[in-house]
A and B are shown apart, each in its own frame.
Chain A
């Protein structure tokens, strides 16, 4: 039963990922991305990591989707994705090779079983991985600067138009 749940969620996520890639309109791809995020967060929840699942759902399906839709509303009619430079059969072959190599690399891990023991996230995050927290704070400041860049109007051209 558990395997069926994982399989349904992951098949849905892979299907949505494929649809997001081949969608002509980027707005449709954005909606598919939100679906992927929701399905992946469901899998993460089933794996026993509810905090990260909530984080992934709120950030991936919420914040990033809103940012993408806003960016698409700003860039306007340029939202259609042009045809690819690389021939699709070549890209498919390269990716198939990568996937096979990746499968060979992770094959030994299939022999192991899921461990039941775990440590609390709060203990790890606040005691063993304090540097991660500081890095996250620095990254969030970078994100604020990025949002300012995203929201800024054409100030440079406006300044040029001002009378000297």
Chain B
């Protein structure tokens, strides 16, 4: 397999996705989960641009990536707001502890 730019970017996208999935599995802090989701989304944005470039329709890839960036930012904002409110209400950001709390 020759290392063309396309191959390198595809490998980079897969590596970023792998690191992101690993982070999702081992992370317990609610704010860090939001942070790990950001890593995954960055890989997805890169993949969308690459797909647009490969198909010869870069405008469509850019348009989809812009929508994903906006949605990703809103996810971060809402997730962080949720984390702050959970911390105020339950006194912890530890996901296993939060999932066993009542009230």
Interface residues of A (CB under 8 A from B): 2-3, 6-7, 10-11, 13-14, 17-18, 20-21, 26, 29-30, 33, 36-37, 40, 43-44, 47-49, 51-52, 55-56, 59-60, 63-64, 67-68, 70-72, 74-75, 78-86, 88, 91-92, 94-96, 98-99, 102-103, 106, 109-110, 112-121, 123-125, 128-129, 132, 135-136, 139-140, 142-143, 146-150, 154
Contacts and interface: CB of A to CB of B under 8 A. Distances in A.
A19 B34 CA distance: 16
B36 A68 contact: no
A75 B84 contact: yes
B34 to A, nearest CB: 8
Interface of B: 1, 3-12, 14-23, 25-29, 31-32, 34-36, 38-39, 42, 45-46, 49-50, 52-67, 69-71, 73-74, 76-78, 80-85, 87-88, 92-94, 96
A74 B17 CA distance: 29
A150 B27 contact: no
A36 B26 CA distance: 20
Given A3-B3, A40-B45, A71-B31, A119 B54 contact: no
Contacts of B93: 75, 78
Contacts of A52: 45, 49, 62, 65-66, 69
A112 B88 CA distance: 52
Nearest to A45: B49
Contacts of A37: 38, 42
Contact of A146 (B3, B18, B70, B77): B77
Nearest to B17: A102
The 8 residue pairs across chains A and B that have the minimum distance between CB atoms: A10-B12, A115-B56, A149-B81, A118-B58, A124-B59, A84-B26, A146-B77, A119-B59
